Amino acid sequence: MTLFDLSDRVAMVTGGNGGIGLGIARGLASAGASVAVVGRNPEKTTAAAQFLSDAHQVAAQAVVGDVARAADVDRIVGEVSRRFGRIDILFNNAGINIRRPPHEMTLEQWQQVIETNLTSAFLLSKAVYPFMKKAGGGKIVNIGSMTSIFGAGFAPAYATSKGGIVQLTKSLALAWANDNIQVNAILPGWFDTELTQQARQEVPELYNRVVARIPLGRWATPDDIAGTAVWLASRASDYVTGIAVPVDGGYTAAL
Ligand code: NDP
């Protein structure tokens, strides 16, 4: 178990107040990490931090902020470092989707998605870098998507941001390898969360179409991300950097 033990570690999870982010935060907390949960909604964020400390007996902090704003990013990282004195693990998970074909998408919508899903990961990684360097190492995990691999005519900004996440992951991994900071990505398949509930309302046949396409035969729940999250946050992955791991029930393995 010591390979996966995070009890001396401090982790930040953006978008950790629900969906996949809360699944990640629960996994890290169950391995013993102190967790800072970042989100825009104060009630949801406070409730998630309370839940983590009650359920897993770890120190948990709610940090309210918008990761798409550069000024908020610096404040968020400042709050976490003041509370815990260190930041060992960063999950860039916060994300949104705007489902519009390219010819109907406005510049503002494009920028909103790119800034939330991609630019925030760059800014947050840059902001935590001094703490990881000072500590002699760290772990950054970026959340991509199946659209890191496939295109999406119905969501061009989203797919572009998620493709960019993989290249950002590789670039940070190379830049910071000498600092013993491992940077990897997880590419989730179809998870049942608020994000996809919205898609399922817009496309009623989506649920069954996806089940038919997944070799493991079911949608994922947020708990399905926890094992891979703990692996990539722990000493168990110390020789792994610059990769993108699908957690998709076999979706990308199938034709
Ligand atoms: P949810 O909509 O359930 O959760 C999104 C989270 O991100 C919320 O906690 C939200 O909190 C937070 N968030 C969004 N924008 C911001 C912002 N500007 N600043 C701070 N926090 C923000 O989505 P999922 O859990 O489904 O998605 C999580 C990640 O996984 C995303 O990156 C998504 O693209 C990716 N993903 C999801 C898949 C799925 O099937 N669900 C598949 C592949 C990838 P708040 O509203 O409080 O800000």
Render pLDDT for 77-135 as a digit per residue (tens, 0 to 9).
999 999 999 999 999 999 999 999 999 999 999 999 999 999 999 999 999 999 999 99
For ligand 1, say whether the CB of 206 is within 6 Å of any of its atoms: no
What CATH number does the domain containing 222 carry?
3.40.50.720
Q: What are phi and psi of 126, to 5 degrees?
A: -65, -40
Q: How far is the CA of 179 from the centre of ligand 1 (A)?
A: 29
158 is catalytic: yes
| Domain count for the chain | 1
CA distance 119 to 163: 13
- Please compute the mean of the pLDDT values over residues 180-187 and round it to a whole number: 99
For the whole model, what pTM was predicted? 0.98
For ligand 1, say whether the CB of 95 is within 6 Å of any of its atoms: yes
* Full domain range(s) for residue 166: 2-254
For ligand 1, say whether the CB of 41 is within 6 Å of any of its atoms: yes
- Please compute the mean of the pLDDT values over residues 173-200 and round it to a whole number: 96
